[in-house]
Amino acid sequence: MIKLFVFLGNPGRDYTKTRHNAGFLLSDELYPYTKWSSKFHSLYAEEGGKKLLKPLTYMNLSGTAVSECTTFYKLKAEEIMIIHDDLELPLGEVRIQKGGGLQGHNGLRNIKERVGSDQFYRLRIGIGRPKFGDVRNFVTSPFSKDEEITLQQVFTLAERMLRNPETEGVSKL
Protein backbone atom coordinates (compact mmCIF):
# COMPACT_ATOMS: atom_id res chain seq x y z
CA MET A 1 0.00 0.00 0.00
CA ILE A 2 1.37 3.38 -0.96
CA LYS A 3 1.62 5.71 2.02
CA LEU A 4 3.78 8.56 0.68
CA PHE A 5 3.21 10.51 -2.53
CA VAL A 6 6.21 12.61 -3.55
CA PHE A 7 5.63 15.31 -6.17
CA LEU A 8 8.92 16.40 -7.77
CA GLY A 9 9.74 19.88 -8.96
CA ASN A 10 11.96 22.85 -8.31
CA PRO A 11 11.08 25.61 -5.86
CA GLY A 12 10.96 29.25 -6.83
CA ARG A 13 9.19 31.53 -9.26
CA ASP A 14 11.59 30.81 -12.11
CA TYR A 15 10.41 27.20 -12.29
CA THR A 16 6.71 27.54 -11.48
CA LYS A 17 5.16 26.42 -14.78
CA THR A 18 8.10 24.56 -16.30
CA ARG A 19 8.18 21.02 -17.65
CA HIS A 20 10.45 19.87 -14.81
CA ASN A 21 7.72 20.95 -12.37
CA ALA A 22 5.08 18.59 -13.73
CA GLY A 23 4.94 16.87 -10.33
CA PHE A 24 4.42 20.13 -8.43
CA LEU A 25 1.80 21.20 -10.97
CA LEU A 26 -0.11 17.94 -10.53
CA SER A 27 -0.08 18.29 -6.73
CA ASP A 28 -1.49 21.81 -7.06
CA GLU A 29 -4.23 20.46 -9.31
CA LEU A 30 -5.12 17.51 -7.06
CA TYR A 31 -4.80 19.27 -3.70
CA PRO A 32 -5.68 22.95 -4.25
CA TYR A 33 -7.02 23.51 -0.72
CA THR A 34 -4.50 21.44 1.22
CA LYS A 35 -2.61 23.19 3.99
CA TRP A 36 1.07 22.45 3.54
CA SER A 37 3.64 22.87 6.30
CA SER A 38 7.44 22.93 6.24
CA LYS A 39 8.91 19.57 7.20
CA PHE A 40 11.65 17.27 5.84
CA HIS A 41 13.14 20.04 3.65
CA SER A 42 9.77 20.03 1.89
CA LEU A 43 6.22 21.15 1.86
CA TYR A 44 4.41 18.36 3.70
CA ALA A 45 0.73 17.56 4.17
CA GLU A 46 -1.59 14.73 5.05
CA GLU A 47 -4.76 14.35 3.04
CA GLY A 48 -7.22 11.48 3.20
CA GLY A 49 -4.76 9.24 5.03
CA LYS A 50 -1.98 9.93 2.51
CA LYS A 51 1.31 11.64 3.24
CA LEU A 52 2.15 14.22 0.58
CA LEU A 53 5.62 15.66 -0.02
CA LYS A 54 6.91 18.42 -2.30
CA PRO A 55 10.71 18.52 -1.81
CA LEU A 56 12.18 22.02 -1.75
CA THR A 57 15.74 20.77 -2.20
CA TYR A 58 15.70 21.23 -5.97
CA MET A 59 15.09 18.28 -8.23
CA ASN A 60 18.56 16.73 -8.22
CA LEU A 61 18.67 16.54 -4.39
CA SER A 62 15.13 15.23 -3.84
CA GLY A 63 16.50 12.16 -2.08
CA THR A 64 17.35 14.24 0.98
CA ALA A 65 13.71 15.09 1.61
CA VAL A 66 12.40 11.64 0.70
CA SER A 67 14.90 9.82 2.93
CA GLU A 68 14.16 12.12 5.90
CA CYS A 69 10.43 11.46 5.56
CA THR A 70 10.75 7.70 4.98
CA THR A 71 13.14 7.34 7.92
CA PHE A 72 10.85 9.32 10.23
CA TYR A 73 7.76 7.27 9.30
CA LYS A 74 9.68 3.99 8.81
CA LEU A 75 8.45 3.57 5.25
CA LYS A 76 9.73 1.03 2.74
CA ALA A 77 10.54 1.93 -0.86
CA GLU A 78 7.47 -0.08 -1.97
CA GLU A 79 5.26 2.33 0.00
CA ILE A 80 6.41 5.39 -1.97
CA MET A 81 5.02 6.88 -5.20
CA ILE A 82 7.27 9.43 -6.93
CA ILE A 83 5.42 11.70 -9.38
CA HIS A 84 7.75 13.28 -11.94
CA ASP A 85 8.27 14.58 -15.45
CA ASP A 86 9.69 12.18 -18.03
CA LEU A 87 11.53 13.12 -21.23
CA GLU A 88 11.20 9.60 -22.63
CA LEU A 89 7.40 9.75 -22.79
CA PRO A 90 5.59 12.08 -25.19
CA LEU A 91 3.38 14.83 -23.82
CA GLY A 92 -0.03 13.24 -23.38
CA GLU A 93 1.22 9.94 -21.95
CA VAL A 94 1.26 8.90 -18.30
CA ARG A 95 2.73 5.67 -16.97
CA ILE A 96 2.86 3.96 -13.57
CA GLN A 97 5.66 1.54 -12.92
CA LYS A 98 7.50 0.04 -10.00
CA GLY A 99 11.29 0.17 -10.06
CA GLY A 100 13.06 0.06 -13.38
CA GLY A 101 15.52 2.30 -15.16
CA LEU A 102 15.81 5.91 -14.17
CA GLN A 103 16.46 7.18 -17.74
CA GLY A 104 19.05 9.71 -16.56
CA HIS A 105 16.63 11.50 -14.23
CA ASN A 106 18.94 12.93 -11.57
CA GLY A 107 16.16 13.45 -9.03
CA LEU A 108 15.22 9.76 -9.21
CA ARG A 109 18.86 8.73 -9.05
CA ASN A 110 19.31 10.77 -5.86
CA ILE A 111 16.17 9.24 -4.33
CA LYS A 112 17.43 5.74 -5.13
CA GLU A 113 20.80 6.52 -3.53
CA ARG A 114 19.30 8.04 -0.38
CA VAL A 115 16.47 5.51 0.09
CA GLY A 116 18.71 2.58 -0.82
CA SER A 117 16.36 1.03 -3.36
CA ASP A 118 14.72 1.71 -6.70
CA GLN A 119 11.64 -0.34 -5.81
CA PHE A 120 9.42 2.71 -5.34
CA TYR A 121 6.48 3.35 -7.63
CA ARG A 122 6.67 6.10 -10.21
CA LEU A 123 4.00 8.08 -11.96
CA ARG A 124 5.80 9.27 -15.07
CA ILE A 125 4.27 12.34 -16.73
CA GLY A 126 5.43 12.60 -20.33
CA ILE A 127 6.85 15.95 -21.36
CA GLY A 128 8.50 14.77 -24.59
CA ARG A 129 12.09 15.28 -25.67
CA PRO A 130 13.24 18.28 -27.69
CA LYS A 131 14.13 17.57 -31.31
CA PHE A 132 16.94 20.10 -31.13
CA GLY A 133 18.66 22.03 -28.41
CA ASP A 134 19.75 21.50 -24.85
CA VAL A 135 17.67 19.16 -22.68
CA ARG A 136 18.36 21.23 -19.55
CA ASN A 137 16.94 24.36 -21.18
CA PHE A 138 13.96 22.37 -22.40
CA VAL A 139 12.97 20.93 -19.01
CA THR A 140 13.32 24.31 -17.30
CA SER A 141 11.26 26.13 -19.94
CA PRO A 142 7.54 26.75 -19.54
CA PHE A 143 4.85 24.79 -21.33
CA SER A 144 3.33 26.56 -24.34
CA LYS A 145 -0.34 27.58 -24.15
CA ASP A 146 -1.34 24.57 -26.28
CA GLU A 147 0.77 22.27 -24.10
CA GLU A 148 -0.91 23.67 -20.97
CA ILE A 149 -4.29 22.59 -22.39
CA THR A 150 -2.93 19.10 -23.06
CA LEU A 151 -1.39 19.04 -19.58
CA GLN A 152 -4.81 19.60 -17.99
CA GLN A 153 -6.08 16.52 -19.82
CA VAL A 154 -2.96 14.60 -18.73
CA PHE A 155 -3.68 15.54 -15.11
CA THR A 156 -7.17 14.04 -15.44
CA LEU A 157 -5.58 10.77 -16.63
CA ALA A 158 -3.02 10.91 -13.81
CA GLU A 159 -5.72 11.46 -11.19
CA ARG A 160 -7.58 8.37 -12.42
CA MET A 161 -4.40 6.31 -12.32
CA LEU A 162 -3.56 7.47 -8.79
CA ARG A 163 -6.87 6.09 -7.51
CA ASN A 164 -5.33 2.64 -7.88
CA PRO A 165 -1.61 3.47 -7.68
CA GLU A 166 -0.21 -0.06 -7.39
CA THR A 167 -1.57 -0.97 -10.84
CA GLU A 168 1.18 -0.54 -13.38
CA GLY A 169 0.15 0.65 -16.82
CA VAL A 170 0.01 3.38 -19.44
CA SER A 171 -2.63 5.95 -20.31
CA LYS A 172 -2.54 8.12 -23.41
CA LEU A 173 -4.63 10.97 -24.73
Query: For 25-61, how does the pLDDT look when each residue is reduced to its tens digit (9 = 90+)?
Result: 999 999 999 999 999 999 999 998 899 999 999 889 9
In b/e form, how buried is each residue of 86-108, taking b as 16+ CB within 10 angstroms? Answer: bbebebbbbbbeeeeeeeebebb
- Is residue 118 within 8 Å of 112, Cβ to Cβ? yes
Catalytic sites, residue numbers: 20
3-state secondary structure of 139: helix
Distance in angstroms (rounded) separating the CA atoms of residues 173 and 94: 9
Q: What is the pLDDT of residue 167?
A: 83
pTM: predicted TM-score of the whole model, two decimal places: 0.94
Distance in angstroms (rounded) separating the CA atoms of residues 27 and 54: 8
CATH number of 4-172: 3.40.50.1470
Compute the radius of gyration of the chain from its Cα atoms. Answer: 15
Q: What integer is the mean pLDDT of 13-27?
A: 93
Query: For 112-152, how does the pLDDT look when each residue is reduced to its tens digit (9 = 90+)?
Result: 999 999 999 999 999 999 888 888 899 999 999 999 999 99
